[in-house]
Amino acid sequence: MIHLDRNIHPQQVPNVIHLVTPKNNTHKTITENDPAVVVMTDLKKVTPFQIDSSASIEAINNKMIACGVRLLFVNDPQENLAGLITTTDIEGEKPLLYVTNNGGSREDITAIDLMTPLNKLEGIPLEEVEKAHVADICKALKECRRKHMLVIESRAEGKFIRGIFSATQLSRQLGTNISPSYRAESFAQLNRALA
């Protein structure tokens, strides 16, 4: 039989107390010589957050805040991956440009209107990431003028987005600002940045 009437006695928190933190701290300082995989958000370990392509800007913003992320994957009505959307997409000039070009108001804009579709995204093959260093990823992000870079894993059953690199997270971990330089014009330039 379970006894439900236990008396719990809260105590005063002592003046000297320590905070328990995870052993694998994702905010630890790293160097440019560390393997690139240590700064990759591995989607085998971290669940990616997704949103429907019909979601409003307000719904996107609310989900990003609730999840503590700056990027959401966007699914089409058939639940297929359609693209991604970032805080820059919803807070930058894109909403104003969309309303100017298409009419309506900010409230009418949905994720599909502002997202970056799959065919406009770039990714680094996982096998390249496994050979790369943090400095290589920083260089690729700068040259491609991206705040996020996807990592693509090839499996027998197809291609999968395995991970993400975040310029914001890298900047925090390196203790420096990773600002983009010029926009890479092709996948070949991305590959050269990693060479």
Tally of CB atoms within 10 A around 187: 11
Q: Name the pLDDT band for 180 (thresholds 50, 70, 90).
A: low
Q: What is the pLDDT of residues 27-85, one digit of tens each?
A: 557 899 999 999 999 999 998 999 999 999 999 999 999 999 999 999 999 999 999 99
Q: What is the per-residue burial (b if ≥16 Cβ within 10 Å, else e) of 11-33?
A: eeeeeeeeeeeeeeeeeeebeee
In tens, the pLDDT along 123-142 reads: 999 999 999 999 999 999 98
Measure the CA–CA gap between 101 and 123, rounded to whole angstroms.
30
User: Nearest CA to 56 among 9, 98, 13?
Assistant: 98
Q: Can you say whether the dihedral through the CA atoms of 21, 51, 117, 58 is positive or negative?
A: negative
Closest CA to 144 of 175, 186, 173: 186
Q: How many residues does the structure list for the chain?
A: 195
Tokens of 162: 């395995």
- Residue 88: phi, psi to the nearest 5? -60, -40
d(CA 195, CA 188): 10
pTM (2 decimals)?
0.74
The answer to whether 177 touches 185, Cβ cutoff 8 Å, is no
Q: Which CATH class is domain 36-194?
A: alpha beta
pLDDT value of residue 95? 95
